């Protein structure tokens, strides 16, 4: 990927996560990415909706890598999810509760306002779910439950300014997955 396009997507993802899709303007993305205005319009000629959709898919690719790496830390699926969740708790705390759910704001805001961005978010979450399903013996329903639970726990941790919701979720998911896959 071209470095300028990469910078734009990185900046857009950061801004969407921090302040939301609708509150983020193209000029902010240009400023945050430190790229010329012409680059934004060259790589994203269809404007903000195209940036939103591509950012969702780019973020998903990043998250799928992190999920797969995190889940590779233990052979046992229940323990792997537990360790990944504990790692997310630490990362959310280290960010000062400003990050942890790169698709969360974008997905919530686009659900009814942008079909294109919503479809990209659906695909993004589908990719993340598939990464969990790989570790959970192909159980897509369980993978969807784990992903939904983690998204909710991330939100609660950010709102409460505490990693505890994620830590409690880590233990509950461990217990649940162990029971389901044993």
- Alpha-carbon distance 101 to 162, whole Å? 15
Which of 43-52, 58-67, 104-113, 147-156 is the least confident region?
104-113
- Alpha-carbon distance 106 to 19, whole Å? 10
Query: What CATH number should be reported for the domain whose range is 48-181?
Result: 1.10.357.10
- Digit-coded pLDDT (tens) for 150-169: 999 999 999 999 999 999 99
Q: Are 121 and 56 in contact (CB under 8 A)?
A: yes
Element (H, E) at 100: none
Whether 62 has a pLDDT exceeding 90, the answer reads yes
pLDDT at 61: 96
Element (H, E) at 139: none
pLDDT at 101: 81
Q: Any residues with CB less than 8 A from the CB of 21 and at least 6 apart, and which?
A: 52, 105, 106, 109, 110, 114, 117
* Whole-structure pTM value: 0.93
Split at pLDDT 50, 70, 90, the class of 92 is very high
Whether 72 has a pLDDT exceeding 80, the answer reads yes
pLDDT at 18: 87
Half-sphere exposure (Cβ direction) of 67: Cα atoms closer than 13 Å: 27
pLDDT at 141: 97
pLDDT at 182: 82
Q: What is the mean pLDDT of residues 28-52?
A: 95
Whether 114 has a pLDDT exceeding 80, the answer reads yes
- Digit-coded pLDDT (tens) for 124-138: 999 999 999 999 999
Whether 1 has a pLDDT exceeding 80, the answer reads no
Q: What is the mean pLDDT of residues 115-121?
A: 96
pLDDT at 100: 83
- Domain ranges for the chain, please list them: 48-181
pLDDT at 179: 93
- Alpha-carbon distance 39 to 37, whole Å? 5
Residue count (the chain): 182
């Amino acid at each position: 990927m071209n470095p300028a396009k990469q910078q734009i997507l990185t900046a857009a993802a950061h801004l969407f996560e921090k302040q939301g899709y609708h509150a983020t303007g193209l000029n902010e993305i240009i400023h945050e990415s430190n790229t010329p205005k012409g680059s934004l319009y060259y790589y994203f000629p269809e404007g903000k909706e195209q940036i939103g959709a591509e950012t969702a898919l780019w973020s998903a690719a990043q998250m799928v890598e992190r999920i797969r790496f995190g889940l590779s830390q233990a052979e046992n699926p229940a323990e792997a999810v537990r360790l990944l969740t504990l790692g997310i708790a630490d990362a959310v705390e280290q960010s000062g509760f400003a990050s942890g759910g790169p698709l969360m704001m974008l997905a919530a805001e686009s659900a009814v306002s942008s079909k294109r961005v919503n479809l990209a978010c659906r695909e993004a979450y589908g990719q993340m779910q598939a990464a969990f399903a790989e570790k959970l013996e192909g159980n897509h329903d369980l993978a969807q439950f784990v992903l939904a639970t983690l998204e909710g726990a991330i939100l609660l941790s950010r709102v409460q300014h505490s990693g505890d919701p994620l830590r409690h979720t880590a233990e509950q998911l461990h217990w649940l997955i162990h029971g389901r896959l044993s």
